[in-house]
Amino acid sequence: MNRQKVAMPDEAPGDEWMNIGAEVARRFADLGADDFPAPVRDTVGRFLLDTFGVIAGAARAPGIAEMNRATAGFEPEGRTTVLLDEAGRGPSIAAMLNGAAAHALDFDDQHDPARIHAFCVVLPAALAASEAKGGVDGRSFVTAVACGVELFCRLGLACYNSLGKGWHPTTALGSIAAALTAGRIFGLDGERMAHAMGLAFTQMSGTTQFIADGALAKRMGPGFAARNGVLAARLAETGVTGPTRFLEGKAGLFALYERGEVTPDILRERIGSRWHLLDVSMKPYPCCRCVHSTIQLGLELYEEGIRPDDIASATITLGAVNADIVGAPFVPDHANPVVHAQFNACYGLAAALTDGRVGLATYTAERVRAPESALASRFEVVVPGTIEATAIAPAAIEIVLKDGRTVSKSTQTMKGAPDQPMSPEEISDKFADCLAWGFGADRATSDRLAETILAIEGADDIRDVVAAFRAARADG
């Protein structure tokens, strides 16, 4: 990939970078439903299933019930569904709450090179906009989601070191993607779509400090982005204008947030024919994607017979960005144990080596604080000069055994990525596990809901799918 520091308008403005935001908005607004080939629509359907599943699993996640209660006391009851609450809210707040739920388990998808979680932002924005508008059919819904996810992936690829600067790309860039999604639902033309995306940029925020501090605010990030996008699209629909040079302007995304470290061509190259959303990864483990390679290696070592009682110490090798996110020492009595563990490679490795599996039960306060988690305190994360700083998949482990021997293992790939995908059976099992965990639903209930979601394109009204989700929650 050709990465360069692009000259900003106050340095050497060039016509090639002018109006790129408005151009991208227009081109996505002009795409018709027939411009989305079957592989794209199938991929969107598969990840919609995954996202509804992880939302269901979040019914027991710390912070979700509290967020629902907090907004119930602040916001009037509205007609837009909060998937994990009994009462509805206004569209923006419903999008926020559903986005937080979609990300609460850190079990949602990720585009690994772009470093963004797409569907936890885009699905809640699409649901809120669809219920606000009313009468939105499944084909229109899937088209809007595909647009939002594709733009989101392109933004993450263009802003390739956003995470390394301290931004949480899902929260920050997600506002713009959510605006496009909601704008498609509302039927905005290219001009108003540009205003919607500019208004979303105006609200843009998102910092990795909530990761460093192990705060529940981490799960709120996608919710904030979904909320911002829905509100921005609604404002633009009614004629409110936003900055149309929100990408390339002197105080736009490229200069202000990314400090010129961007590859802008990715945003507009082959829109409608090159689909980056096909490269989105599905998560097999409910924790930060930066930990997944470490967990894989730990599970392989468990299968080879390595057990905690054998281990004196271990060194985990990660790239610089991964290490910055998940490389801190494990703190058994952390104030927010679940978030801390989700973003801790040492804990992920220890859990894999102790239990021989990593799932939803791995990331509860009780499990994180259990005596066996002390194994993680014997591990450390290091950064070599041999792994590209922004590379997400590469990882290596070296374990020193108590008898003096060493065991080493490394990988360049991650389970769930396009080159190592989860099987249909694994996807179905993950969905069922999430419904069982969050709703107490049996397999027959989860299979019925999965069938409804996978047939979403044929729905006459997207509210029928929402009703099926709510019914599964009640049945559980």
**Does the predicted TM-score (pTM) go above 0.75?**
yes
In angstroms, rounded to a whole number, what is the distance separating the alpha carbons of residues 349 and 292? 9
Where does CATH 1.10.4100.10 sit in the chain?
Answer: 4-279
Answer for the pair 182, 129: CB distance below 8 angstroms, yes or no.
yes
Where does CATH 3.30.1330.120 sit in the chain?
Answer: 289-411
Q: Which of 52, 54, 28, 48 has the alpha carbon at shortest distance from 138?
A: 48
Answer for the pair 7, 161: CB distance below 8 angstroms, yes or no.
no
- Paired strand residues for 408: 398
In angstroms, rounded to a whole number, what is the distance separating the alpha carbons of residues 297 and 381? 14
Instruction: Place 183 in a pLDDT band, splitting at 50, 70 and 90.
Output: very high
In angstroms, rounded to a whole number, what is the distance separating the alpha carbons of residues 433 and 419? 24
Question: Can you tell me whether residue 11 is helix, strand or coil?
Answer: coil
* Residue located via tokens 């993607």: 177
Report pLDDT digits (tens) over 252-303.
999 999 999 999 999 999 999 999 999 999 999 999 999 999 999 999 999 9
In angstroms, rounded to a whole number, what is the distance separating the alpha carbons of residues 288 and 428? 21
Q: Is the predicted pLDDT of residue 5 greater than 80, yes or no?
A: no
Question: Can you tell me whether residue 273 is helix, strand or coil?
Answer: coil
Report pLDDT digits (tens) over 237-260.
999 999 999 999 999 999 999 999
Residue 107 is encoded by which pair of tokens?
A: 């079990």
Residues 6+ apart with CB under 8 A from 463: 130, 131
Consecutive H or E run containing 9: none
Give the CATH class of 289-411: alpha beta
Q: Which of 168, 164, 124, 126 has the alpha carbon at shortest distance from 143?
A: 126
Report pLDDT digits (tens) over 136-172.
999 999 999 999 999 999 999 999 999 889 999 999 9
Give the CATH class of 4-279: mainly alpha
Strands 395-401 and 311-318: antiparallel
Residue 116 DSSP class: B
